[in-house]
Each structure stands twice: as C-alpha cells, then as structure tokens.
Structure 1
Amino acid sequence: MRIGLLSRVHLGPLAVLFALTLSACLLISGLPRATESAYDEALRRALAGAPGVQTDLTVTVGTWSPAVDLRERAQFDSRMRVWQKILPATLRPLVTGPGHMNAKTAATPIAGTGGSSYLNLGWLSDADQRVEWVQGKAPGAPSTMRYEGETIPVFEAGVVEEAVREMNLRIGSTTVIGEHDYAAVKIVGVFRAKQADDRYWSHHNDILHVLKLQPPGSLDFERHATALLSDAGLAKLSGEGRNLAYRWTLPLDPRGASALDVPGLQAAIAEFGRVVDIQSTGTVAPYSLETGLPHLLAEFQAQLSTAQTVMYLVLGGLLAVALGVIVLAVQLLSDRLDHTLALTRARGGSLAQVAGTAAALTAMGVVPGAVAGYALSYLVPGTARPIVHAGPVIVVLAAAGFAAVRIALAHRTPLHERRADVATARPSAKRITLEVLIVVLAVAGAYLLRARGLSASAGQDPFLLIVPVALTVAAALVTLRLYPYPLRLIVRLAARGRAAVPFLGLTRAARARAASVMPVLILLPALAVSVFAAVVSDGIAGTQRLASWQRAGAPIKVTSESEIPAAVIDEIRKAPGVERVVLAQRGQVQVGYGAERAEALAVNVAEWRSILSGAPVSLPAVSGGAIVSPELRGRGTLDLGWQSRFKVPTAAVAESVPGFFTTGKFLVVPLEVLLRPAVNTLLIQGDADVAELAALAPSATVISQESALAGIQDDPLTGTVRATLVIVTIALAGYALLAVVLLLIVGAADRARAVSFLRTLGLSDRQAQWLTVLEVLPMILMTALAGLCLGLALPTALGPGVDLSSYAGDLPVGDYSPDPVLPGALAAGLAVVAVLGAYAHTAISRRRSLGAVLRVGDLT
C-alpha cells in the first residue's frame, strides 16, 4: 500500500503521535540523566564535606623496637611508592597528589602530672608547606641531658599558641615526658597553620589543638597536646618504650567521583585493605588500612537507594501512562484506517499486509518523535543509564506493535462485521477468579511490605517495586468491575423521570464497550502517581520545616563557647529586626554527688515558648521546675552542681529540646536558679539579618531557622527528588487531560452517529451536549476518585519501604496529610476538560449533515 499517501491523508493523527512520542521520550530519557547528574553531585558534596580523615586512605603501622623504626624520609617515601603501586585501578582516578606521611606518639604523659597532662611528639612530611612559625624558630636537631641519673634525649619541638596558653608550654621551657623511658621536649617555637580550614588538618587535629578528654568515672579532664619535630628529631624518635605509629595518607579528590562507581569503590577499598595486609607478611609489625570512606559510601548508598526507589516508582508510572496515551492515539489512527484496511482485506490483501501497513504508518509518527525526544534529552547533563537508550525503543515498539496487533485482530477475516450496539459480554468465571486473586495478592503485598519492611540485601528490593504496580492494577480492576453497578442504579432512577437525555446518556455510559474503558487504565495510574508524588513532596517539605526548627530552636539562635558580654547583648537587642531576646546558658551539670553528668540549659521557658508561637515545635509548659530527658525521669527533686549546688523539682519530661538536645541525658532549668548566669546563648525573635548579628558577636555562632531550612534543602539529592516529583506531577496531570481529550476523539464517530439518530427524533443542540457530557463524565469521575484514593493511600502503604528521612533533616517523613487543593484541582480539571470537550464535539457534529453520518437504510 502507498504509505506516503496514507500519511498525508491522516496527517492530524500522525502529528498527535509525533508530539506525544517526543514529549514521552524526552521525559523518559531526560529525567534519568538529570537524576544521575544530581546523584554524582551529591556524592561529590558528601565526600568534599566530610573531613579528610574519613575520606582519605591511610596505611598505618605501629612500632615498638629499633628494628622496625623508620629514621629517614627516604624510608617513608619508598613505602609510599609501594602503596601507590598496589592501589586498585578503580581508586586511582580519585587519589591525586603525592600524599603525605607522619609519625606520632600517643598517650605520652608529662612526668609529675599524675596522668592529667600528655605531650606527644609528631613529625609531618610536609610541615614546611603547612605551618608558619610566628614565634621562636623551627625545631632543630635533638640533644641530651641528665635526668634522675640517666642520659635522656632532648627533642627540639614547636607547639601551637593554644598549647602555650592551656598547658604552659612557653618558648624555652623543657618538659620531661614518659613514665619509665624518659625523654625531654624543649619548646623552641610557636607555629600556626597556613590554612587551618584545609581538609588536611583533620588528620592532625591533635597538633592544631589541645584535646580535652574526660576518662570514664572521672570529673576532671585530661589535656593532650602534640609537639612538632624536625627531620632530625625523627631520626632519634624510636618506638621502644613509646606508643609510636607511622602513617601514609593517600588523599581523595571527590571531583572525579561518580554515583555509578559506588559499589566498585566499596569493593576496591576492601581489596586495597586486603593487599595492604598482605604486605605485612614476613614483617614484625603488621600494616593496616584506616579510612572512613566505606562508611560514608554506605550512607550515601542508602540515600541513593531511597532516591532511586522513588524515581523508579514515579518514572515507571510516567512511562506506563505515557505509553497508554500513545496507545490511545494509535487507536485513533487505526480507527481512521479501519475502512481502508477493510477494503484492502476484501480485495485479497493478506493479514500481514494490513497489519504491516498499520505498523508502518504508526512508525512514521512515533519514530521521528522518539528520535527527536532522545536527541533533545542529551541537552540535559548527566550519565546515560540503560533506561535512557531503552525508553525510546520501548515506546516505538509498543506503539507499532499495538497498531499491528489491533489491526490483525480486527481483520482476521475479510469483511468481518462487528456489532457496536451490544453491551459487553459477561466475564467468564476464570477471568473473575484471576481478577479476585490479583486484588487479594495486591492487598496482601501491601500488608507484608508494612509488616516486614525492606529486604536487607543490597540493591533495590523487588517487592517494593511490585507492590505499587499490583495495587494500581487491583484498583483499576475494582473500578472497572464496580463502575457499572452504581451507574445502573442511577439509570433506573433516571428511567422514572420524564427527561430522556439523562436516561440515554447514562445508559450509553453503563453499556460502554471494553475498548472505551481503556482510559481507566491511563487515568487511574496517572492520577495515582501524580497524587502520590505531590503528597510525598508535601510530606518532605513539611518535615524539612520541622527539622529546621529542631535544629535552630528559635527564629534566630546565637551560641558561644564563652560568656557573651552584656554590651554585645545590648547591641543585639538594638539591631534592626530584633523583636525579643531570651537569655540562656548552656553547660554540663553534675547530677548528684557522683560522676553522673548531664547536658543542661538554663532559660526562662515561658519566654522561650512565646517566641515559638506558630512553630511546629514547642516545650512543655512548666513554672519553676525542670524539664528532663526520659533517662532522668522519675527522680523527683534533682540535686545539681552547676556553678553552685542547688535543687530543682522535675516538672515535665521531653523527648528532645529543639535546637539543643535530642538524645542522652539532658535537662532544662529556670535561669533564675543560677547565682550568676553566664549567658552564652541567645534565642531571638524577629527577622534580623544573620550576617549583621554575626558581626556584632564575632566569637559566636549565629543560625536562623531559615538558614537551617536552606541548608537542608540545598542538597542535590533532596532537590532532585523534589524537582522530579514536581515535574512528574505536572506531566502526569497533562497526560491525564490528554487522555480525556483522546477519549472524546476516539469515540467521536460512534457518538456522532448516535446523536444524529436522535436529532432526527427532535434532539436539540443543548440536549446533545448534555447527552455527551453524561456519557463520558461518569467514567472520568469514577476513575478520578479511584486514582485519587490510590494516590493518597500509596504513601501510607509504602511508608516503611521508602525512608525519606535523609531528605528531611534526618527526621522520618510520616505525616502524609492529604492536601485537598491538589485532588480538587485534578478532579475539577478533568471534569472541565470533559465538559468542554463534549461541548466542542457537539458544536463540530452540529455542522455535519445527517447524510454525512447516516447511511441508506439506517432509518428504516
């Protein structure tokens, strides 16, 4: 047959197919690319935001005798070359730079301090590039001195300014360290990090700061400092009698990380650790790999798995709905071809010929649209997953295959007449049994998913992907089977009335053929998935807002490690936008007279509650008593030590205190119980500029609820999930409206013929409009209602399987309160489109003469 001529004759349906296919392939191929790009960016941010000590690969070995000591830089360099050589190929693109090495002692007490102060020794391979000497000089070669009748080494070393203040390590002072194998440390200089915020220093926090540790059961703190040695000092540093360890660090560059490589990276790290362990064969001291990268990758993989699950659900629904709308358009084209192909079949055309003609003509519309949509998807940055390439192919094959199969079934025999005026036959017992089984299995699957949660195995849980599909199919089957019964009841009521139009319109709707109920299979998943996406998006947004208040605890919070001066507080009170300032002090209190301690906050609870008015968080209303954590409940009056001894009765119990405490032992006490409050926290009501407040209190940290919310939302994975949900919601709503329009167009010929019959009996234009509306509107409303109910139920049904807490400030997203605006807008939109389409169809049909619709003999 002449495909070119047929394409010109049926240019309108082909144009519709082209547009639908282009949009479907652009969405199906573009959205996965966008999500993959966001996944990569999220991984890079997660790795870049983590301390280097967690992401970098560090090989460590301990030494305890001169036989395994490393005394020269060259010995460190040779081992670094070994680690770089055995690094797996998967990790090499992420490990950049030459790396760095260090040697440090640990837990070296200062003689005569009773174990309260410790001074360790450290050597950094790149110290000359990392530090600058602000006082004194750089360390030189060690010397010796006599101590308790023995000759001990004296190491020249430098310390940070913090160690000078807190441990009295002044330039020129000499400190003896050790318990038995003594050594001395002479402080010759004070240094400062050139870039203290560099990720490098996370490996050496003990060098930049004095660490304060509280031993279990003790009320006092231990102070640990590390002094910096020179290369000459390394040559005299031995592990004999000391806790000495050597480390080689391979820094990780997050810029080359890809989410697709996460499983391979985890396997490569395990392999690297195994090979490093093998290098210990034949040596006295074993090598080991230290890194927090597997834990970070596992956390990211969990977040990624949740994001992919949501994406699979909504993109799968989008693909199914898009295919359904395209199939409707193919049905429209095949209906237009029906007469031509029937003549071809009657004149000797084979079944393969007519089916091939339908498939070829369909392909002329869908193939260019698929190619154009696929090409346009490359404008979206991101990695191309298999679905990017497979999606357009699936669309083309489904459209062409449906056209061929439908025509082949319709024209099995030449001139096969079909009755269009007979109601659908009753379904068989086998079919009813199968449909009941599907519904039962879908409900049972949803129950089991809530009961057992997700599978612990790696990757996507197929159970989570099957249950939504089963629920959608079950809802569609229930809708199709139950739809005629209430309609027939309404028909009986309409039959008692005097008006014929309601009876005729509802009767035609109740006797709809199986082909005309196909839109149910499109509208229902379209509405269900779009409502599901909208409800989940709203749930994430609401939980994000709650999490931001949990983090801030007030519209604006100012915290400081030390007391905030009264003059600064007065300036903050006078700052523009500040309406009220609530004073508070945070610290640690002694519970009773033993070693038990708890985090505490002293504040006027009534004033704090007043500035939280309208916020999703609050505190129990108390007057004079303490709010305690569950760990401190039931103790009656608490005897506390904080500046002085005082007693306070327990007034209420709170699971958390917004902005301060979420776990552990904590309590909130009235500010007036302190003799002299040392205010280090301000809770501010108003919309003041955070930067201005930070400038007024440079030593404090200023956080607002709005900045906390922006920090939660400013995440590639979070933004991608919400953006994809919004896009899919809009796309599915559009497809649902297109399905209604195509429904009207597909049944236009049959509907025009029926209206023409009735016009010969005196049917007016207004009655024809109402007849069309009553014919199509009941199915649309029933399907819309079923789709909305399913969409509202899916978040609850899938709740345990879709953990969205990582996108909502680590709070569980469980409040899926339905928003009446979206369901009402969707249902109203579908109804309006149906009514407008019915009116437009009636207006078009009115222009036709009866002779153009009715054949000779139709009225006899």
Structure 2
Amino acid sequence: MTEPLSPLGHGDVSWIRARLRAAPGGAAALAALVLVTAFLAAVLPRAVDGYENDALRDTLRQAPLAGRSVTMSLGVSRLSVPNGAEELITPQAVARTEGAFQQVVRKPLALDKTQTVYGVRSADATPAVDPGLPRPSKSLNPQATLFAQADLAGRTRIVSGRLPGPGYDSAEDTSVVEAAVTDRTAKVMRLHPGSAIHLQDSFGSDLTVRVTGIVSPRSPENAYWDAGPDLRAPTLITVRPRPDADPKFYWHFTALISPDATAALLGLHDGAQVYWYHPADIAAFTARDVPAARDRISALNAGPDAARLQELIQQPGLTVEEEGLAGLLTPFLRERAASQPLILVAAVGVGTVAAVVLLMAAGLQVTRRRPELTLLRARGIALPDLAARLIGESALVAVPPAALGLGLALLLFPVERSAPSAVAAAFVAAVATFAMPLRALAAARRPRLEQREDLIAVRPSRRRTVAELTVAVIVAGAVVALRQRGTAEGGADVLTAAAPVLLALIAALVLLRVYPLPVRLLGRPAARLNGAVLQIGVARAGRAPSTAALPLLAVLIALTVTSFGGSVLAGVESGRDHAAVVKVGADARVQSTVGLALPEGLDARVRRVPGVRDTLGVRVETGQILQATNTRYDVLIVDPGRYARLTRDTGVGTSFPAAALADPGRGPAPVIASPRLARQIGHGTTTVYTAASALDVRVAATVPETPAVAGREFVIVSEASVHRAHPGAVSSATRPLTLLISGEHIDGKALRAAVRGAGARDVQVLLRSEERTAYGSTTALQSGARGVYLAAVAAGAGYSVLALLLSLMHNAPQRRALLARLRTMGMTGRQRQTLAVLEMLPQVLLGAVGGILVSVATVPLLRPGVDLTALAFSTSTPATDVSAAVLRTDPVSLLLPSAALVALACAVLAVQAWATGRRGEGTELRIGDRA
C-alpha cells in the first residue's frame, strides 16, 4: 500500500474483508452491542405507546356507554316547544340530526359508527300505580322509563307475544302506547303479554302502557343495551327519607316502545328526551390522539364545530354534554403527564449511558489498532481514504445489527407508530458507525510517540482546562435554571430529564480533577510500610488514567438513574402509607354515618377482637360554621392523654400538646385548632356548638393535622371541659361518634362481626390495611410506566457494568504484563490479586461515591418537576391527603447498586490476576514491552 487507494475501491473492500477476518471476535462483540442497543432504543417508544394505548383502551372498555361516548341530548316537551314538538322526536328527525353530527366530527376523534345508539326516552321516571306490581316497600310505587330505539326487531328475539306498534289510531290520541319488556324485567315485575301499566306523575299526567311482547337481547354486550341502566333488567333503588330512618326500596324498570310512538311521551309532564350516544372506537383510539380528541369534543360543545352543528340542524336546545368521553380522558391525561417525566428521565439517562458505552468500545478499538493506523499513515494513506475504509468497516458491522434490532422491536411490539423507533435505531447505527472512524482520524491526524496511558501531566493543558470550565459553566447554568423554574412550565421536558446527566457530567469533571490528590497523599505513609503490594497499588492508583472520563460518566449516570427509580418507588409507597393513615386515623376506625352515638358496649367488644391493642372514643361533630368568616370546621371532643398517645402511634401531625387542653376550672375552655382556623379566631374567644350545648373557647395551641379528621378544619376540646360546662347533658349528646382502634394485624372480619354484635347500626368500618391495599391496586397506566422504567433501570445497570468492564479491558494488557513481571520477581498469586484490586479500587470507589452524591443531589432538584400523585393514586382510589407522595431519598437504592458495582469490579480484577498467573510469564512478556 505504497499509494493511497480511492475510497470504496477494490482494495478498500479487500482490506475491510481482511480486517473483519483478522478480528472476528471484536467485530461480533460490537455487532452484538449494536444489536442490543438498537433493539432497546427502538423498543422504548413502542413500549410506551403500547402500555399507554392498552391503558386507554382498557379504560374505555370498562366504562359504561355514557362514560365512553360523546353524548348529545335534546329535551322536548309541550311546555318548551308549544308548536311542532312531535316533529322533533320522529325517527326521521332523530336520524337527520345524527347525519349532521357525523358530518361535523373530524379526526382524530375516532368514534365507532357501528356502536352508535340514539333514540327517544321519557325525560324522567314515572310511578306505576298498578297494585299487581311488586313493592319491596309498600309505600313506594315502582317507576318506569319508556325507551324508543331504532332496530328493535333486529336487536331482540321474541320470547312471547309480538313487538310493539304505535298503539294509538291518531296523533291526538296518545294516552295509550304499546311496549315490550325483556324477559328478566317480565320475571321481576310479573308482566306478560296483555298486561297494562298505568303511569301517573305528580302533575296529573296519565299514560297507559300495554305490554305486547316479551323479548330477550340477541347480543346483551352490545352498546344498544347499555343506553339505560336497566334496559335488560330492573334495578332496586334505595332511598332514605331521613338520615336516621330505615332505608326504603322500590323497583325501576324500562319498557321498550316503537320509534313511531314517541308522541305519546309528550303526554307526560316532563316530556321526552332525545339522546345520541357516540362511543369511542376503542381499536382506533390511541394515547397520542387523546389531547386533540379532547379539543375536538370541546369544539363540539362550544366552538366552531358547535356552531356548524347548530347551523346544520337548527335546533337551539341541542347540547353536546361535557361529561362522558371528555370526562374519561381528563384523568387519563393527568396520569399520563405524571408518568412522562419518569420515562423521559430513564430514556435520557439510559440513552446517554448507551452512547458512552459505544464511544468507549470505539476508543478501545482505536487504542488496540493504534500501531496499525500509524503504519498506514507512514505508508502514505490519505485521511479521507482512511476515513472511507474505517467507515465502511464500521458500517458493515453496525448497520445490519441495527436494522435487525429495529426489525425485532417492530415484530415483538406491534403498535401504530414506527417513526420514533426507526429514528432511534438509525441514531444508534450512526453512533456505532462514526464513533471509531472519528476517534481514529483524531489519533492518526498527528502521529505521536508511544507513551504510557496511565500517566497524567502534572499540569493539565490550558485547552483542557478551558474546555472543562466552559462545560461546567454551561451545565451549572442549566441546572440553576431548572431549579428556579420548578414546575412552572409543567409536563415533561428534556431539561428536566437531563438533570441527572448534567449533574453527573459536572461531578465527573470535578472528581477527575481531585481524584489523584488524596490517593497520592496516601502513598506517602504507604511507602513507609513493609511490603511492596500496598506501595505499588497506591502508586499506580494515583496515576489517573486519561481514559477514565467516559467510564466514570457512564457509571455516575447509571447509578443516578437507578437511585432515582428507587426514590420514585419510595415516594409512591410512602405517599400511599401516609394517605391510608390519614384517611383512617388509626389502624382501624368505626364511625357513625348518621350522627348517632355508638352503642355503650361496643368498646368492650372491639377490644376482644384479635389484633386490637387499644381503642379510643372520639366525638366528631361536623358542620360547624365560624360566623365571622363562614368557615366550616369540625369539633372533636377527646381525652387529651389518650389522644396524644394515638397521635404519637400513628405519626399523623406533630407531637400533640395534651397539656394545652387542661381544663382551668372556669372561663373559656382551651382548645387546639388547625392553623387556618386559629388565625381566623385570633386571640379572643368564640363559641362552638356541640350536641350538649354551646361552649365558649379560646385557642391554646395549633396542630397542622390530626388523626380523627382528615382534610378539614377542626377544633379539639377536652371531655373534661365539656362536662364542666354542661354537667347535666344527656349521655347520648357526649358519647363518642367515632372509635379509633390501634393494633397489629387486626382481623377485619372479626371486627365487623363485633360491631354487628354490639347492635351498631349505620356505621362504617375502615381498616388501614384495606385502604393501603386499595391504593396499591395500580391502574394499567401506572403499572405500565413502572414496568418500563424498571426495565430501563435494568438496562442502565447493564450498561454501567459493561462500561466498567470496558474500562478494565482498556488497561488489561499493561496490567497483565505488570502482574506477570511481578510474578517473575517472586510475588505470590494472592499478592497479585490484592495488587490488581488496590490499583483499580480507588477509581471504582470514585464512581460509587460520586454516584451516591449525584443521586442525593438529583432528588431535591427533580422533586418540583415530578408529580407522584397520579402515580401513587388513581381516580378510582382518590386519597384524602396526597402531600406525602413526593420524591424521597431511598438509602437502599443509593447504597446497593454502588456496592454491587464495587464487588463486581473486585471480582473481575481478582479473576484477571488469577488468569494471568495460570497462563505464565511467556504469554504476557515480550522483548521491549513496558508496563
């Protein structure tokens, strides 16, 4: 190769082939690394899309028809529309309105036309006065709603009788209408073909419904049968006339009339209601469409689409309801927005670590091929020709594995979008293709004399110092801007996600600068000790290698991302625990739901329940109003000493100042109030009203929260003060309304049995363990985000281990030569292993300690930008107090990964030293070698 060859010529291809044949192991290892990295990069966006889409579709499937639909409604009565009301509820008019709506709907609001349900129903349920109908409570008549939906014949099978017709001969005679009922309705309500149902409302409207047939649904799961809560079967309704009265029950059922008989509904006082349910197309709805779809729904309610819809149908009373699908999408967007910063932090962190590992692999290749590159340059190859050969070689190794990784990701994770995955895999292929050629060109551009890689200049170059200071200033400015901004901009952004990387970069620069100093200081006392192992180990450890920056950066980022994940999980668990304690107030709680005192024997029965340690009766009187500010608050009547012990056991609030409630014997009673209420009351006195009577009080102390009441303002007064002020009060006015129970592993079934055995009625039994379990039942979105993040953390840990191994491999030849030479000088195998560990241990400890420090700094930095509320709680299990669901430093997540990394490095070094001794000196030492 005396003359340079043109790029991509025959010689280049032969050279590339020869290079790959010469080092097949290295090429295969790099190809495997690129394959795994490209696969992970392509999988991440598809996995996120996958779990978000699955969570959205699962939410839509579980919702009732009205909850997952864009609903239109139109109220029609003879009062609201004196003339032409019948024309608005004919099948033709209802169908025309549906056609106009379909013209207005635009993508990405995906609605399932095959599941659309529309029709006319009676605006309100009407009592049925026939004596033969079942009445669970004799004083309450059953109530009926009439539905007229299209295609009744196609949706039902006739069990007996026939389908209904109009039931009247002229539009003026609409007092009788025909109807069909389902088989389950007929069984419960004792109906059969020929039965007559007389509907009479309180305004004197009268309508006779003749049952012509009994039908059964062809497809009960179809949205057609979900338009009403009891289209398929009656519903037993519970009512309570007064809070302290026994409940009463009545049946509500549905009768199906012909769409041509809707004029009969206008005979009822409230008239008819036309409805259109447009359920979401579950298969076509994706999570990325949710924000735009919600905007489309808003535009249908009040916007350009609403104006166009009114222009097409000319019906001013028509409304598009704000609830339904829009109400379902809002909590989904909130949970999705809460998980996005978490996923983005993992993606940026793991992506940076993967890129660093690819750069390290390229640097290792360049280091081992430096003599070859020097020889090529000496023989006259031009830099462009060398670049073409190296790029061709790298592309041949990197591009096919990256394409294979992308293909596997597309195959294993089928979702709608593929562009983000393709871009991620292409980026990985580009980094793997150009990293080694660029490093090689930088090394070959200016040939230099061979020198040891484990030495560093006493005074770093000015160029390096300026570059490091520039990077440090820019990164520090970004971190300060992030800290000052907090959550003002909301949502997930790259700056928030890059905070661990930025902190790790600053830490790496600082640690590399200060690292040699303490190690070299340790070398002075080590030199005075007997034995050469410690002296040589400390001396070699003090020579900071010039290649330590990338491995240190990779280790710092991976440890930070791992620790951040532990902080997230710790914050979620702590928030759920605190919310459960705040909601219950103790380990268990028995409280009256109607304001009646608990039975006198309840306390003794509950104490005998397995697991119960102590009980405390508290009287909580709600609905108090501070007249000066119109603030609502609760009055708590407690035993101060026992209540202080309960507060201490639960950990809710600060230490309870029981001494402040000591009754003075005369004058206003001292109370403890919530801070906001205490400020409103001031230093004077006020009057609180209890069931016993009025009580003059003054604020003696404040506490921010208290176990017996959650999320409300409160005043706590001593039982002694109440009895002093009202010695003759009846016992029912001072007995507890709430029983707070302490204990471990309380048997909930036995507790409820004890409450029933004591004769307690209208009470609610809460257990902290059950509430905590309810908070732990995560939604599909929460579990999906957690799974993706944990997988990303695992990948980051794997890359950090790989970075450590590449770092050890970089200096492996020199280390093996040194150990072999020391073996010829009589050093034992155990001493060589100790020396290998001592040489690299300070650098590994540097990464471990630095990772801990960066992780500790990351948690308070990211705490304002990461909302754990939506990750810890869901709309189905809302929490009374969510303030504790914040990022918390988790000691296990800080120490365990760092300790594992140190242990792995020590094991690898010890094995390397042992293998060097097994191979012998001849395989490691050559004439002219230097170590």
Normalising by the smaller structure, the TM-score range is 0.7 to 0.9
Aligned 8 A contact 1:472 1:525 in 2: yes
Summarize the alignment of residues 76-225 of structure 1 with structure 2, pairs less than 5 Å apart: 76-94=94-112, 96-102=114-120, 124-126=147-149, 176-177=202-203, 184=205, 200-201=227-228
Q: Which residue of 2 aligns with 1:432?
A: 465
Tell me, yes or no, if structure 1 residue 251 matches structure 2 residue 279: yes
Tell me, yes or no, if structure 1 residue 639 matches structure 2 residue 689: yes
Q: Which residue of 2 aligns with 1:66?
A: 82
Shift of 1:33: 2.9
- In 2, Cα distance between equivalents of 1:288 and 1:68: 19
Q: Which residue of 1 aligns with 2:902?
A: 831
Summarize the alignment of residues 287-686 of structure 1 with structure 2, pairs less than 5 Å apart: 287-292=318-323, 293-352=325-384, 354-356=386-388, 358-362=390-394, 366-367=398-399, 369-371=401-403, 373-377=405-409, 378-380=411-413, 382=415, 384=417, 386-412=419-445, 417-418=450-451, 420=453, 423-424=456-457, 426-429=459-462, 431-456=464-489, 460-495=492-527, 500-555=532-587, 579=612, 589=622, 591=624, 615=650, 617=652, 620=656, 632-633=677-678, 634=681, 636-641=686-691, 645=693, 647=695, 661-663=710-712, 674-675=732-733, 686=745
Aligned 8 A contact 2:620 2:636 in 1: yes
Shift of 1:412: 3.2
TM-score scaled to structure 1, two decimals?
0.76
Q: Which residue of 2 aligns with 1:263?
A: 291
Shift of 1:41: 2.8
Unaligned runs of 5+ in 2: 1-13, 127-141, 157-163, 180-184, 186-196, 212-216, 243-250, 664-669, 723-729, 874-878
Shift of 1:764: 5.4
Secondary structure of 1:248's aligned partner: strand
Aligned 8 A contact 2:175 2:208 in 1: no
Amino acid at match of 1:837: V
Summarize the alignment of residues 41-60 of structure 1 with structure 2, pairs less than 5 Å apart: 41-47=54-60, 53=66, 55-60=68-73
Tell me, yes or no, if structure 1 residue 279 matches structure 2 residue 309: yes
Q: Which residue of 1 aligns with 2:130?
A: none
- In 2, Cα distance between equivalents of 1:173 and 1:307: 53
Deviations 1:242-286 (A, max 9, x none): 898654333346565321211331233244443233232394725
Unaligned runs of 5+ in 1: 109-118, 131-137, 144-152, 161-170, 178-182, 215-224
Q: Which residue of 1 aligns with 2:214?
A: none
Q: Which residue of 2 aligns with 1:733?
A: 797
Moved more, 236-245 or 753-762: 236-245
Aligned 8 A contact 2:617 2:638 in 1: yes
Would the alpha carbon gap of residues 76 and 513 (structure 1) be closer, same or farther in structure 2, given more than 3 Å must change?
Answer: same
Secondary structure of 1:57's aligned partner: strand
Shift of 1:94: 4.5
Amino acid at match of 1:773: V
Moved more, 716-725 or 602-611: 602-611
Would the alpha carbon gap of residues 542 and 244 (structure 1) be closer, same or farther in structure 2, given more than 3 Å must change?
Answer: same
- In 2, Cα distance between equivalents of 1:527 and 1:156: 74
Would the alpha carbon gap of residues 666 and 27 (structure 1) be closer, same or farther in structure 2, given more than 3 Å must change?
Answer: farther
Secondary structure of 1:280's aligned partner: helix
Tell me, yes or no, if structure 1 residue 39 matches structure 2 residue 60: no
Q: Which residue of 2 aligns with 1:219?
A: none
Summarize the alignment of residues 5-24 of structure 1 with structure 2, pairs less than 5 Å apart: 6-24=19-37
Would the alpha carbon gap of residues 611 and 781 (structure 1) be closer, same or farther in structure 2, given more than 3 Å must change?
Answer: same
Question: Of the candidates 801, 810, 822, which is equivalent to residue 746 of structure 1?
Answer: 810
Amino acid at match of 2:148: S
Aligned 8 A contact 1:13 1:329 in 2: no
Would the alpha carbon gap of residues 361 and 39 (structure 1) be closer, same or farther in structure 2, given more than 3 Å must change?
Answer: same
Question: Of the candidates 854, 857, 863, which is equivalent to residue 793 of structure 1?
Answer: 857
TM-score scaled to structure 2, two decimals?
0.71
Question: Of the candidates 789, 804, 812, which is equivalent to residue 868 of structure 2?
Answer: 804
Root-mean-square deviation (Å): 5.8
- In 2, Cα distance between equivalents of 1:522 and 1:107: 68
Shift of 1:782: 1.4
Amino acid at match of 1:829: A
Would the alpha carbon gap of residues 251 and 101 (structure 1) be closer, same or farther in structure 2, given more than 3 Å must change?
Answer: farther
Moved more, 735-744 or 572-581: 572-581
Summarize the alignment of residues 838-849 of structure 1 with structure 2, pairs less than 5 Å apart: 838-847=909-918
- In 2, Cα distance between equivalents of 1:328 and 1:775: 20
User: Percent identity between the aligned chains?
Assistant: 25
Amino acid at match of 1:473: L
Moved more, 318-327 or 275-284: 275-284
Moved more, 505-514 or 549-558: 549-558
- In 2, Cα distance between equivalents of 1:812 and 1:756: 61
Deviations 1:352-380 (A, max 9, x none): 55555555555565456545544443434
Q: Which residue of 2 aligns with 1:134?
A: none
Moved more, 367-376 or 723-732: 367-376
- In 2, Cα distance between equivalents of 1:321 and 1:690: 52
Q: Which residue of 1 aligns with 2:42?
A: 29
- In 1, Cα distance between equivalents of 2:617 and 2:176: 47
Aligned 8 A contact 2:572 2:871 in 1: yes
Shift of 1:794: 1.0
Aligned 8 A contact 1:157 1:228 in 2: no
Aligned 8 A contact 1:446 1:798 in 2: no
Secondary structure of 1:515's aligned partner: coil
- In 2, Cα distance between equivalents of 1:513 and 1:455: 43
Deviations 1:662-698 (A, max 9, x none): 2467989979963497979896854436699599979
Aligned 8 A contact 2:175 2:267 in 1: no
Moved more, 297-306 or 419-428: 419-428
Deviations 1:604-646 (A, max 9, x none): 89888878886554795768998765665446552135xx756
Question: Of the candidates 711, 725, 731, which is equivalent to residue 774 of structure 2?
Answer: 711
- In 1, Cα distance between equivalents of 2:510 and 2:930: 39
Shift of 1:849: 5.6
Summarize the alignment of residues 814-825 of structure 1 with structure 2, pairs less than 5 Å apart: 816-825=887-896
Shift of 1:55: 4.1
Aligned 8 A contact 1:52 1:202 in 2: no
Would the alpha carbon gap of residues 823 and 771 (structure 1) be closer, same or farther in structure 2, given more than 3 Å must change?
Answer: same
Aligned 8 A contact 1:530 1:733 in 2: yes
Amino acid at match of 2:285: A
Shift of 1:481: 2.0
Secondary structure of 2:320's aligned partner: strand
Secondary structure of 1:818's aligned partner: coil
Moved more, 479-488 or 338-347: 338-347
Aligned 8 A contact 2:581 2:768 in 1: yes
- In 2, Cα distance between equivalents of 1:347 and 1:463: 48
Amino acid at match of 1:449: L
